[in-house]
């Protein structure tokens, strides 16, 4: 086989065979196919798509490129949760402790940031001392004893995805149903959970811009998961504007703790409770959806979820004092305010522009080798539907590089649209597919 012939075939919009997909994926994983040829194939896939059969084959090849995890030594039904990526999405840090506090064993592998969206592993690594890698025995023991462990994807789990994921992040090849499906499901099927809850985003700040595309992605992933014997639920949620008020690693950890303490923005609180309830239901810890919702709320309001978060952080080497003193999280040297030039209402807040502004301020990577500024990011004071007066604070951009923070502030300013008529806040949860 020849890599150029395969690239040209997909560039013409033709379907690839299993052997052709395997030749490219495994050749790239083994270092035989260079970055530039895999980048060309990924771009051709983004432009021309893949059939569901191609996607099933790609998912299986990526899953089988490394180890599969046996979680049978963990007691109970293991439930995983995955988001397709969004701006300000820190739900894992809230959902996992809530579900664990209700008796669901959480044995989760998470990823790093991709494009303009943040990654759970990056957020967790902003906690001083927090370790995102464990040996298998320690991982199993942590879940059995503490009820929860969240680690980064190891080099042994779907290594093909790990290499392709890093390449997609810096080559503009993130927005593809086939690539997103295969990336998520190859890891999830290899990671050993019995059930999976998917949070599929749609809107300006998501890889799927429309509800129709998000629904197609959700259905593809649910079908692939069920076909592999997993219990599956997908929640389609809105990402027209950022989720919560904090965007950026340490800032998002702080907001997650606000929610676990009973506060925090309404949207991130409500979505987290919805996702946690779905995990509790699939985990067999509730009689029905209403019962699961009540248990999730009780775990949050009683403080049990916060205590589970504290145990989780301490068990993975993190400084649990952050739950009492958020100043122990990374702090930025510079803060640049963005203020309204006119009075009116916020009629639009472009999540993608805010995500890019945060990334460019230092909170994300533009090249594979970039170091993340854990303190960088954006705190939003105004969102869609809010009234503003001239001079009101819209948001603040943080960072340890003044020039980057100032550039991020200019981008954040362009994300706001202010008009004379009040706009309703966007509907958060659009549909549940199970």
What single DSSP character describes residue 326? Answer: G
Buried-state track 185-203, b at ≥16 Cβ within 10 A, e below 16: bbbbbbbbbbbbbbbbbbb
Give the integer Cα–Cα distance in Å for 88 and 106: 22
Distances (CA, A) of 150 to 22, 42, 161, 258, 261: 30, 29, 19, 20, 20
Place of tokens 């499901």: 185
Question: Does an H or E element contain 418, and which?
Answer: strand 416-419
| Token duo for residue 414 | 């362009």
The residues pairing with 67 across neighbouring beta strands, listed in sequence order, are: 157
CB atoms within 10 A of CB 137: 9
> CB within 8 A of 391, min separation 6: which ones?
339, 340
Give the integer Cα–Cα distance in Å for 217 and 106: 24
**What is the DSSP secondary-structure string of 184-211?**
HHHHHHHHT-SEEEEEEEESTTSSS-SH
Catalytic residue ranges: 82, 161, 168, 183, 187
Give the integer Cα–Cα distance in Å for 261 and 252: 14
Q: Do 422 and 352 touch, CB atoms closer than 8 A?
A: no
Q: At what angle do helices 211-227 and 177-191 cross, to 10 degrees?
A: 30
């Amino acid at each position: 086989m020849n890599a150029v012939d395969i690239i040209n075939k997909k560039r013409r919009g033709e379907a690839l065979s299993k052997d052709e997909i395997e030749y490219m994926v495994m050749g790239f994983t083994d270092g035989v196919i260079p970055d530039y040829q895999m980048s060309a194939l990924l771009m051709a896939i983004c432009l021309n798509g893949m059939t569901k059969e191609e996607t099933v084959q790609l998912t299986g090849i990526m899953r089988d490129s490394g180890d599969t995890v046996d979680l049978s030594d963990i007691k109970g039904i293991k439930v995983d949760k995955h988001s397709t990526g969004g701006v300000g999405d820190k739900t894992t840090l809230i959902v996992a402790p809530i579900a664990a506090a209700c008796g669901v064993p959480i044995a989760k592998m998470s990823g790093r940031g991709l494009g303009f969206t943040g990654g759970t592993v990056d957020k967790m690594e902003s906690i001083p001392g927090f370790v995102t890698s464990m040996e298998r025995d320690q991982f199993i023991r942590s879940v059995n004893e503490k009820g929860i462990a969240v680690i980064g994807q190891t080099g042994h789990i779907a290594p093909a995805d790990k290499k392709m994921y890093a390449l997609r992040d810096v080559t503009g090849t993130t927005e593809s149903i086939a690539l997103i499906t295969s990336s998520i499901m190859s890891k999830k099927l290899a990671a050993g959970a019995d059930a999976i809850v998917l949070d599929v985003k749609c809107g300006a700040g998501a890889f799927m811009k429309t509800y129709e595309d998000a629904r197609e992605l959700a259905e593809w992933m649910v079908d692939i998961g069920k076909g592999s014997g997993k219990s599956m639920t997908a929640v389609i949620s809105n990402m027209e504007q950022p989720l919560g008020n904090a965007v950026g690693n340490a800032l998002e950890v702080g907001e997650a703790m606000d929610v676990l303490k009973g506060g925090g923005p309404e949207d991130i609180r409500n979505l987290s409770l919805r996702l946690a309830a779905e995990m509790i239901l699939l985990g067999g810890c509730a009689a029905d959806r209403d019962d699961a919702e009540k248990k999730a709320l009780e775990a949050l309001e009683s403080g049990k979820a916060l205590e589970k978060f504290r145990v989780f952080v301490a068990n993975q080497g993190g400084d649990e004092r952050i739950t009492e003193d958020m100043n122990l999280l990374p702090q930025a040297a510079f803060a640049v305010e963005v203020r309204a030039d006119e009075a009116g209402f916020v009629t639009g807040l472009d999540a993608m522009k805010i995500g890019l502004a945060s990334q460019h301020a230092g909170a994300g990577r533009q090249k594979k080798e970039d170091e993340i500024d854990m303190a960088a990011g954006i705190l939003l004071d105004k969102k869609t539907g809010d009234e503003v007066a001239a001079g009101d604070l819209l948001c603040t951009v943080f960072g340890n590089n003044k020039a980057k923070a100032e550039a991020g502030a200019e981008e954040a300013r362009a994300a706001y649209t202010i008009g004379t008529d009040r706009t309703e806040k966007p509907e958060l949860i659009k549909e549940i597919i199970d």
